[in-house]
Copies of this chain bind each other. A is one copy, B any other.
Amino acid sequence: MDISTAYKDNNYKIHVDRNILKNVLQTYTKQYESVYYIIDENIYDIYKDSKLSFIISPLVVTGGESFKYVSPLMHTMEALLASGIKRNSLLVVIGGGATGDAGGFIASIILRGVDYIHVPTTLLAHDSAIGGKTAINSEHGKNLIGAFYRPRAVIYDLEFLDSLPEDEVLSGFGEVFKHAMLHSPALLDELMAATENSIDITALPPYIIKGIETKMKIVIEDEHESGSRKFLNLGHTLAHAVEYKYKIPHGQAVMLGIIAALYISNELNGAGFDLDAYIAYIRRHGYPVQLLKEMDIDEMMHFMQKDKKNHRSDYISYVVFEDKNTPAVTDIKIEDLQNMLTALKERI
């Protein structure tokens, strides 16, 4: 299935299906004089003799997040320049969200910008198919150096997901779940029914597509991150603190953050979520729910207060639901948040 973005200009297609890489890629590459490939080393190891065997002399780069730093970035850029990349060359970036973020950033600054195509290989990377954010990490935090730069296309060949480790499936599913929740209660119910006892990756494509569409709708409504785009931070406020403290994959922390957001939505707005059902479902799939019991509330509060999204000093900005249909951003008094998280901790 193909989705087209709906920006004012510079639109691109997101191709989503199994086993499409080689054929779809060809329709693009033939428009360029030369094509360069950046591939996550773990992906290349698995697929070099199969799906990726058609690729000649790619740049194989260090796997996942370790690529999102200035030194591997520069190393890769100098290699591209050494092999003669031109403004009208195409860069194809194959890997998860991390490889996509750094590869897209390279595309945005090499020769002041060349076209690139992202080929996401993780479930989580459905999230970065849209939004145009590229970045690397600084000594002072994640994603602090980067650019807004749209790909020429996204080719999401779902066959790559077959080799995705369980931990990464859980992480990516956190964002799929979040997007379904922001879409509608009906879609969320459907997703939870389809994955009642386990996350079967073959059942997910319709929800991946809905996830991309949901994010697209929000991002296009609010390109400059002043209003509804903030909804995409659902679950993220506590997640960043949990992720930082316990070093668990991002999307897993988001899932725990969603539990907190639902609890708070019930407390503040009487949103009426069946919290126990959600907790049971999330626990059943193997998310580390017990961290919500173990966490030190003071420590979590400390991390959350440093979040760059806060704009009033005694408050923490939080995405909650007013009712099951209506996400909203609200500033919660630090003391109130502390009390609610303490009560949640007791309930787990």
Residues of chain A having any CB pair with chain B under 8 Å: 70, 74, 77-78, 81-82, 86, 108-113, 133, 135, 138-141, 144-148, 308
- Distance from A316 Cβ to chain B, minimum over Cβ atoms (Å): 17
Among B113, B133, B140, the residue within 8 A (CB) of A78 is B140
Assembled-state Cα–Cα distance A149/B308 (Å): 24
| A77 near B138: Cβ-Cβ < 8 Å | yes
Which residue of B has the minimal Cβ distance to A148? B112
Which residue of B has the minimal Cβ distance to A132? B112
- Protomer copies: 2
A110 / chain B contacts, CB cutoff of 8 Å = 144-145
Among B113, B135, B140, the residue within 8 A (CB) of A112 is B135
Assembled-state Cα–Cα distance A109/B81 (Å): 20
- Distance from A109 Cβ to chain B, minimum over Cβ atoms (Å): 5
| A140 near B82: Cβ-Cβ < 8 Å | yes
| A78 near B148: Cβ-Cβ < 8 Å | no
- Distance from A261 Cβ to chain B, minimum over Cβ atoms (Å): 24
Mostly, the A contact residues are mixed
Nearest 9 Cβ contacts at the A-B interface: A81-B140, A112-B146, A109-B145, A78-B139, A81-B138, A70-B74, A81-B144, A109-B147, A112-B148
Assembled-state Cα–Cα distance A78/B139 (Å): 7
Assembled-state Cα–Cα distance A245/B146 (Å): 36
A140 / chain B contacts, CB cutoff of 8 Å = 78, 81-82
Assembled-state Cα–Cα distance A70/B69 (Å): 13
Tell whether A133 pairs with B147 under 8 Å between CB atoms, given A81-B140, A138-B78, A139-B78: no
- Distance from A325 Cβ to chain B, minimum over Cβ atoms (Å): 31
Assembled-state Cα–Cα distance A148/B147 (Å): 11
Q: Which of A70, A141, A148 has the most CB of B within 10 A?
A: A70
